[in-house]
């Protein structure tokens, strides 16, 4: 560990997150001192610790303890990504992008091994067994899981989303137009098909998007669009349908236990009456008639 002048350090690393609120960090440094030193390259570029650097400047410090990393460009980039991945204020899309890039770097630093389980005398009866690629995926997933607290499955799915998503899908997610579940279905389409499909299905519930994707993969996006209505209220209709099914199921369970509508709280009876009116029931219909129409 060394000490360097803060004025000599460079904040040119694109992974650094400057301009964030560091007031709590300043309080911590005042009370406990700087627990984790800055991580820099030999040419004084900050690889990790931008917020610590900013807090030290704000507090009037001139020097900081640093750890100097002497790796190659990829190893230095991986240090910066690791620093960001343990942060709590990254968006889901930023995390996915960081994870994908970390995987790319890891696989370049630790190339796949090729198993030697190949037949040396191939024949028609005993064809040559193809070389089996042994990727460092499991080791990478475990390493990142320990750092981030994400499960290996979550990490794998996050990387897939980033790799498979078109630019338009990523933008829709940034704008809050797509949920994670919707995205998981849309990215099953080819990237070139996603923009056109997105315009048609982004307001649909996941169940309908799943049907659309299945049809698009077998018959093409155009046919799927022609066959899939995209009523702007379809998502709301789906939610209402789901809730009503749960309501009917619960009421049938109570009916089996001997409960009748008249046993329900008054407020619940009134809600059931209102529900009956939505289905075209007469304002003079009794509670029992409404319950009968719902339960049957």
pLDDT tens per residue, range 199-232: 898 888 898 999 999 999 999 999 999 888 766 5
Q: What percent of the chain has pLDDT over 70?
A: 80
Is the pLDDT at 274 greater than 80? The verdict is no
* Lowest-confidence pick of 2-11, 111-120, 135-144, 236-245: 111-120
Give mean pLDDT, residues 123-141.
Answer: 58
How many other C-beta atoms are found inside a 10 Å radius of the C-beta of residue 175? 8
Rounded to an integer, the average pLDDT of 243-255 is 86
**Model pLDDT, residue 134:** 46
Domain borders along the chain are: 2-70, 244-295
Q: How confident is the model at residue 127 (pLDDT cuts 50, 70, 90)?
A: low
pLDDT of residue 268: 86
Cα-flanking dihedrals φ and ψ of residue 66, to 5°? -140, 155
Say whether pLDDT at 288 is over 70: no
Q: What is the pLDDT of residue 250?
A: 87
Q: Is 69 exposed, middle or buried (0-12, 13-18, 19+ CB in 10 A)?
A: middle
259 has pLDDT over 80 = yes
pLDDT (0 to 100) of residue 235: 61
Mean pLDDT of 165-181: 93
Backbone angles phi, psi at 264, to 5 degrees: -75, 160
Q: List the end-to-end C-alpha distance of the chain, in Å, as a whole number.
A: 76
- Judge whether residue 276 has pLDDT over 80: no
Work out the angle at residue 72's Cα, subtended by the Cα atoms of residues 66 and 74, and round it to the nearest 5 degrees: 100
Q: Where do we find the tokens 């995926």?
A: 137
Distance, CA of 213 to CA of 66 (rounded, Å): 51
* Cα–Cα distance, 77 to 102 (Å, whole number): 9
Question: Strand locations in the chain, DSSP E?
Answer: 2-5, 38-41, 46-48, 63-69, 113-114, 133-134
What pTM did the predictor assign?
A: 0.60
Q: Is 2.40.128.30 the CATH classification of the domain at 2-70?
A: no
């Amino acid at each position: 560990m060394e000490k360097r002048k803060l004025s000599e350090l460079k904040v040119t690393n694109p992974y650094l997150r400057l301009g964030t609120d560091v007031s709590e960090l300043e309080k911590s440094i005042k009370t406990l001192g700087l627990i984790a030193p800055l991580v820099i390259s030999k040419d004084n570029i900050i690889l990790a610790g931008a917020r610590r650097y900013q807090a030290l400047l704000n507090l009037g410090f001139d020097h900081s303890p640093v750890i100097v990393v002497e790796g190659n460009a990829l190893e230095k980039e991986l240090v910066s990504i690791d620093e960001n991945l343990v942060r709590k204020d990254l968006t889901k899309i930023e995390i996915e992008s960081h994870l994908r890039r970390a995987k790319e770097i890891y696989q370049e630093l630790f190339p796949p091994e090729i198993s030697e389980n190949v037949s040396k005398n191939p024949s028609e009866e005993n064809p040559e067994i193809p070389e089996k690629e042994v990727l460092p995926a499991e080791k990478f997933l475990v390493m990142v899981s320990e750092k981030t607290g994400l499960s290996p499955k979550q990490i794998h799915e996050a990387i897939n989303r980033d790799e498979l998503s078109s630019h338009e899908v990523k933008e829709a997610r940034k704008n809050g137009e797509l949920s994670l579940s919707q995205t998981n279905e849309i990215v099953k389409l080819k990237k070139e098909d996603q923009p056109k499909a997105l315009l048609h299905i982004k307001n649909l519930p996941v169940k309908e998007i799943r049907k659309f994707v299945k049809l698009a993969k077998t018959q093409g996006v155009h046919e799927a669009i022609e066959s899939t209505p995209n009523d702007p209220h379809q998502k709301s209709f789906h939610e209402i349908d789901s809730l009503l099914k749960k309501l009917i199921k619960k009421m049938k369970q109570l009916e089996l236990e001997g409960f009748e509508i008249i046993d329900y709280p008054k407020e619940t009876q009134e809600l059931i009456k209102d529900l009956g009116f939505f289905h075209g029931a007469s304002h003079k219909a009794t509670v029992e008639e409404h319950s009968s129409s719902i339960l049957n």
